[in-house]
Amino acid sequence: MNVPELLAGRRICVCAGSGGVGKTTTSAVIGLGMAARGLRVCVITIDPARRLATALGLNELSNEPRRVDVARWRTGLTPGTGDPPGTAADVEPAAGELWAMMLDPKQTFDDLIDAAAPTVERAAAIKANGIYRQLSSAVAGSQEFTAVSKLYELAQSDRFDLLVLDTPPARNALDFLEAPQRLTGFLDGRALQALARPTGLGVRLLGVGAAPLLSGLKRITGLDLVSDITTFLGLLGPMAETFGHRARAVEALLRSPETAFLLIASAQAGSIDEAVWFAESLERRQLPFSGVIVNRFHHDLVGPTPLGDLEAALTAALGGDTDLAVRVAETMAAYHALAVRDDAELDRLRTRLGEVPLLAVPQFDAEITDVSGLARIHAYLFGSEAERAALIATLTA
Amino acid sequence: MPALLDHRLIFVTGKGGVGKTTIARGLGLLGAQQGRRVIIAELTPTCPEGGIAEIELDENLFFIAVDPQAAMEEYLRIKGGAVGSVLAHSRLFATLAMATPGLRELLGMGKIWELAQLERRTRDGDAYDLVVVDAPATGHGVAALRTPRVFADTARVGPIAAHAAAIATTIAEPDFTAVVAVTVAEEMPVRETLSLADTLADDGLQLDAVVLNQHRAARFSAEEDEQIAAALAARSPIRPGDAVAGALSAARSARARAEAQREHADALTARFGDRLVRVPALSDDPEGLAPAVAHALVKGL
Ligand SMILES: Nc1ncnc2c1ncn2[C@@H]1O[C@H](COP(=O)(O)OP(=O)(O)OP(=O)(O)O)[C@@H](O)[C@H]1O
Ligand SMILES: Nc1ncnc2c1ncn2[C@@H]1O[C@H](COP(=O)(O)OP(=O)(O)OP(=O)(O)O)[C@@H](O)[C@H]1O
Ligand SMILES: [Mg+2]
Ligand SMILES: [Mg+2]
């Protein structure tokens, strides 16, 4: 199994996972690799490391995809000079195109308002509203909300064969689905509108008089805030419904069989539980779970070796430098412990997830900041089973 | 300025996955080992499971997961009287309150504040000497720290404004509250830590400590690395399962990783000086991790 097989027939690939596991890196690799296979691909990245962004030719936030200049892919690459297999040539696109954008949540939000508002004046009034400003720039929710919004928008056009969505840093992999729902819940404003009209259905259904609710709200939040919210929702008016519709359309899109959810995970403790929980949550929401990429994996290079024997052999190899040999042996023991742990975790993951495809990407020595780094990961995600095994064997050398 | 563990409230934040939970546990354990009554409070931005119970982990060491919804219900019961308990049970009200920008964060911070009071508001709540907050990742973490001030300024009247103002004052009190940033020596986490320090400074706060977690000290000099590389080259072509070659290349990897970290570690040292505490990568099992981290912290603090 490899990424092209996982993504056969899919138009959307969502890379989810908890903070710092490699979502942005993996999204870039998938974009690169699929473009190299002739597809028109757009990667929606969120807050990439500066050096990686530069490597992709993205130097500022933008709300429109930009074509990634192929010539840039070669910077930092020296083809034909002993690069490991699967680097330069493999990632040069044949007929494909790679596009990328760095999501600008605030701008995306403003664009949404501009598009939905009946008049320019109304749009301006909304954008000037304090509650709107808080909403559109709040960390909690606005990245998630605008990311799926952008995905939806791009999916409506035929410009791309594949959209790869990187997801915002979050504590858990499903936050990017839940946060937009919370925000839409607010924008949709049914609860608030029910309050504004005290005879509203919502209030009566719950069997609670509106008066205590309203006064309770005042008691809790202070008057000014309530009137701010009411003004804001008044301004939004029927637009609120537009947001509701859109949210439902996004849900439908994510649920479609043309979408693939990939979980990016680390082999560290806790990732198993997370993966299992992620799989179950997706299933509950009827969302298509397609595979797990276990990133930063430590491969067991040589199996256990008695420390004493190893020290002796290393001393010989290092020209009798016992002190150095001991430290090398200790380093090996530490590495081996990690490898054993990762291996056990991967096994447990396999058992718990059953049929779900699993791909492991090794921990490299340096951060992935350029195209040759991406190419190295590419070899693991896009190669065949046999090619991967051959690569892992060369890790020793 | 009191020592870090002599604050009443320690707020631990940092980029996702860098080790906030691990360091918060280590700090909590260390505080407890030194005889304080400590609670570690996980401040979650989402609420997978409800509940707001204080669980005893160990001698002097407690844990609580602060669910904003449960925190709100508790607040309403304490403050809202009869109306409060009606509201506490209203689904509509809960939806509304949870969707109101910033209110979730405020309620979470309100509970943290309550835990840190010597006179607890909750019935049979005993006082803690130290509350260690396992805060959400930087962005959300800063939002949580700021929310009380923002609320106090926006909602100028009513009890919540007064309450928010009280919390904000506590947070701004350097003898009471400390902020700790956790980072690893990689580009993005370090950049976030530096910009966190700037953001806090704008609010009149500062980072009391920066923990460089998963730190890999250089174990091999450049000369030794050459020696190792030569020994590795001498074994070429390497036959599968060659343990010596495996060890030599693991050593080269370890050196390369330490080197890759150095530039970032230097940037942190330059900015934070002796406020920087290094905690090595400890390949312990999950149970052994907290004591090992506590041990590493005791040396650094
Ligand atoms: N296989 C790997 N080997 C070594 N370093 C890696 C590997 N994969 C990713 N990294 C590095 O790990 C760091 C985090 O990666 P990345 O930014 O892709 O994670 P993320 O999941 O997008 O993080 P966030 O949740 O903060 O958005 C980067 O510095 C990246 O270069
Ligand atoms: N010093 C360390 N040595 C070894 N492993 C560590 C160390 N610090 C953290 N870890 C491991 O790294 C992983 C992430 O750590 P942790 O859960 O504390 O991060 P976090 O910042 O709380 O993550 P999140 O943002 O998801 O809440 C865990 O598996 C933890 O066991
Ligand atoms: Mg990212
Ligand atoms: Mg955590």
In tens, the pLDDT along A222-241 reads 545 556 666 777 777 777 77
- The rounded distance, in Å, linking the Cα atoms of B291 and B19 is 14
The CATH architecture one would assign to domain B4-217+273-300 is: 3-Layer(aba) Sandwich (3.40)
pLDDT of A201: 38
Going by pLDDT thresholds of 50, 70 and 90, the confidence category of residue B61 is very high
| Average pLDDT over all residues of chain A | 79
Angle at Cα A363 formed by Cα A357 and Cα A364, nearest 5°?
130
Best mutation target among B15, B92, B104, B238 (most A Cβ atoms within 10 Å) is: B92
A175 with B46: Cβ contact below 8 A: yes
What are the residue boundaries of the structural domains of chain B, listed by start? 4-217+273-300
pLDDT of B277: 95
Q: What is the DSSP letter of A395?
A: T
Distance A184 CA to ligand 3 centre (A): 23
Give mean pLDDT, residues A120-131. Answer: 86
A310 with B244: Cβ contact below 8 A: yes
Best mutation target among A182, A192, A221, A368 (most B Cβ atoms within 10 Å) is: A221
The answer to whether residue B181 scores a pLDDT higher than 80 is: yes
Region of poorest pLDDT, from A11-25, A77-91, A172-186, A236-250: A77-91
Instruction: Supply the residue whose CA is at minimum distance from atom 29 of ligand 1.
Output: A367
B160 with A169: Cβ contact below 8 A: no
Closest to B170 in 3D by CA, of B179, B181, B157, B180: B179
The answer to whether residue A198 scores a pLDDT higher than 90 is: no
Give mean pLDDT, residues A370-384. Answer: 87
pLDDT of A191: 53
The finding on whether B288 has its CB within 6 A of some atom of ligand 2 is: no
From B24's Cα to the closest Cα of chain A, the distance in A is 16
Query: Measured from the CA of A362, which atom of ligand 1 is nearest?
Result: 1
pLDDT of A94: 58
- The rounded distance, in Å, linking the Cα atoms of A361 and A379 is 9
The answer to whether residue A101 scores a pLDDT higher than 60 is: yes
The answer to whether residue B269 scores a pLDDT higher than 80 is: yes
Classify strands A97-102 and A66-67 as parallel, antiparallel or unpaired: antiparallel
The answer to whether residue A200 scores a pLDDT higher than 60 is: no
Q: Are A360 and A296 in contact (CB under 8 A)?
A: no
pLDDT of A83: 42
- Chain A residue numbers with beta carbons less than 8 Å from the beta carbon of B152 are none
Better-predicted residue by pLDDT, B83 or A371: A371
| Average pLDDT over all residues of chain B | 85
Q: Which ligand is nearest to the CA of A16?
A: 1
Burial A181-202 (b: 16+ CB within 10 A, else e): bbbbbbbbbbbbbbbbeeebeb
Closest to A135 in 3D by CA, of B103, B272, B35, B295: B103
- Chain A residue numbers with beta carbons less than 8 Å from the beta carbon of B228 are 318, 324, 328
A215 with B83: Cβ contact below 8 A: yes
pLDDT of B87: 67
Distance B214 CA to ligand 2 centre (A): 9
Confirm or reject contact between B78 and chain A (CB < 8 A).
no
A331 with B240: Cβ contact below 8 A: no
Give mean pLDDT, residues B182-196. Answer: 91
From A232's Cα to the closest Cα of chain B, the distance in A is 12
Going by pLDDT thresholds of 50, 70 and 90, the confidence category of residue B203 is confident
Q: How far is CA B228 from the centre of its chain?
A: 39
What ranges make up the beta strands (E) of chain B? 9-14, 38-43, 55-58, 61-66, 130-134, 177-183, 209-215, 276-280
- Chain A residue numbers with beta carbons less than 8 Å from the beta carbon of B251 are 327-328, 331-332
Q: Mind listing the pLDDT tens digit for each residue in B3-46? A: 999 999 999 999 888 999 999 999 999 999 999 999 999 986 54
The answer to whether residue A4 scores a pLDDT higher than 70 is: yes
Q: Mind listing the pLDDT tens digit for each residue in A152-184? A: 899 999 899 999 999 877 666 677 777 677 667
Provide ipTM, 2 decimals. Answer: 0.80
pLDDT of A366: 84
The answer to whether residue A221 scores a pLDDT higher than 60 is: no
pLDDT of A260: 95
Q: What is the number of residues in chain A?
A: 397
Structure tokens at B206: 């500062």
CATH C-level class of A3-305+327-396? alpha beta
pLDDT of A53: 81
A175 with B99: Cβ contact below 8 A: no
Confirm or reject contact between B286 and chain A (CB < 8 A).
yes
The answer to whether residue A7 scores a pLDDT higher than 50 is: yes
Query: Measured from the CA of A268, which atom of ligand 2 is nearest?
Result: 29
Going by pLDDT thresholds of 50, 70 and 90, the confidence category of residue A192 is low
Confirm or reject contact between B81 and chain A (CB < 8 A).
no
Instruction: Supply the residue whose CA is at minimum distance from atom 28 of ligand 1.
Output: A367
Give mean pLDDT, residues B107-111. Answer: 86
Going by pLDDT thresholds of 50, 70 and 90, the confidence category of residue A77 is very low
* Residue in B48, B86, B246 nearest the CB of A212: B86
- The rounded distance, in Å, linking the Cα atoms of B105 and A195 is 23
- The rounded distance, in Å, linking the Cα atoms of A27 and A45 is 7
pLDDT of A313: 92
Q: Are B27 and B5 in contact (CB under 8 A)?
A: yes
The finding on whether A79 has its CB within 6 A of some atom of ligand 1 is: no
The answer to whether residue A69 scores a pLDDT higher than 80 is: no
- The rounded distance, in Å, linking the Cα atoms of A31 and A380 is 14
Better-predicted residue by pLDDT, B254 or A74: B254
Better-predicted residue by pLDDT, B53 or B175: B175
Closest to A163 in 3D by CA, of A20, A265, A45: A45
Region of poorest pLDDT, from A173-187, B31-45, B170-184, B241-255: A173-187
pLDDT of A202: 35
Q: Are A91 and A371 in contact (CB under 8 A)?
A: yes
- Chain B residue numbers with beta carbons less than 8 Å from the beta carbon of A138 are 101-102, 143
> Other CB atoms closer than 10 Å to residue A157's CB: what's the count?
7
- The rounded distance, in Å, linking the Cα atoms of B273 and B14 is 18
B187 with A49: Cβ contact below 8 A: yes
Contacts of B292 (CB under 8 A, 6+ apart): B282, B284
Best mutation target among A131, A225, A280, A363 (most B Cβ atoms within 10 Å) is: A225
pLDDT of B30: 96
- The rounded distance, in Å, linking the Cα atoms of A100 and A161 is 13
pLDDT of A75: 41
* Residues 43 through 72 of chain B touching chain A, CB cutoff 8 Å: 44-46, 48
Q: Which ligand is nearest to the CA of B140?
A: 2
* Residue in B157, B228, B248 nearest the CB of A223: B157
In percent, the amount of chain B with pLDDT more than 70 equals: 85
Q: Mind listing the pLDDT tens digit for each residue in A328-363? A: 999 998 888 888 889 888 998 889 888 889 999 999
Q: Mind listing the pLDDT tens digit for each residue in B116-156? A: 988 776 666 789 999 999 988 777 777 778 888 877 776 66
Better-predicted residue by pLDDT, B236 or B2: B236
Q: Which ligand is nearest to the CA of A171?
A: 2
Confirm or reject contact between B140 and chain A (CB < 8 A).
yes
The finding on whether B19 has its CB within 6 A of some atom of ligand 2 is: yes
